[in-house]
Amino acid sequence: MARLKTARHRVSGGHEIQIQEAGEGPAVVFIHGSGPGASGASNFRGNIDAFVAAGFRVILPDLIGYGASSKPEGIDYTLQLFTDTLHEALVAHGIERAVLVGNSLGGGIALQMTLDHPAFAEKLVLMAPGCVAEREAYFVMPGIAKMVSNFGGPDFNLDEQRRLIGNLLHAEAHHLITEELVAERFEVARTQPKDVIVRMRTPDLSPHLGKIAQPVFVLWGLNDEFCPESHARLFLERCPNVRAITFAHTGHWVQVERAAEFNRYVVEFLR
């Protein structure tokens, strides 16, 4: 894998956001989703080299509450908090305009950032994006219900971490769950407060999709247990410039489960 350079930026509220990067060229910001142990590098490790080789500057932030970024306790983790702290860190990192690539919660953040700062976002690539339904609609999805009930506490261990990663993937992709991935995400999960999941507050952005003029590429797994694949139609119906692909036998992690296809399709979309 390409060598990653690491920087930390202090943002509003006294929080710190870590950003890793590799490559040179137009900036592509990969925004990870939620869940125990999530981080930029662990969510997109199978995509970094392909985008660097294609001539892009790969930007891998850790969201507030995740990875090596600050993990405050006793607060609501709102979509606006995620978006504002990330945008502030990206600007501090010297990025003025970028492609935003977001998975799950990261897709919702990409949408909010585009609505808030339309000149910042060049194009959007969204893999099973969240925040296009009410929060309660997501929390009854089987994958999220399992994640919330199993996250944290004294009994949280490597087996639980492995099981939670497995929930993200279709059964045919479980061979991708390596011990290195489990250990990497477990080390992050041990430092995360439960607030990052149970006090997450996200709005329904679907009424605003028509305001997004940038080209949008939506990719979704048919067997996603976190964000229903039927939500792809919301983008097709409301965004003025959108394309969508659905993958059979694929769960919530299109960029992991179908990495080679994801890399090829997205690089072509960005050129």
Identity at 7, one-letter amino acid code: A
Instruction: Tell me the angle at which helices 158-168 and 142-150 cross, rounded to the nearest 10 degrees.
Output: 170
Rounded distance, CA 197 to CA 106, Å?
A: 14
Q: 3-state class of 28 per DSSP?
A: strand
Distances (CA, A) of 173 to 41, 140, 149, 216, 224: 19, 24, 23, 26, 13
Residue 252 known to be catalytic: yes
Amino acid at 16: E
Residues 128 and 232: their CA atoms lie apart, in Å, by: 8
Task: Exactly one of 15, 87, 170, 252 is catalytic; name it.
Answer: 252
Distance separating the N- and C-terminal Cα atoms of the chain: 23
Please give the Cα distance from 32 to 41 (Å, whole number): 9
The position carrying tokens 């592509």 is 28
Q: Which residues contact 92 (CB under 8 A, 6 or more apart)?
A: 9, 11
Coil vs helix vs strand at 250: coil
d(CA 205, CA 208): 6
- Catalytic positions, written as ranges: 252
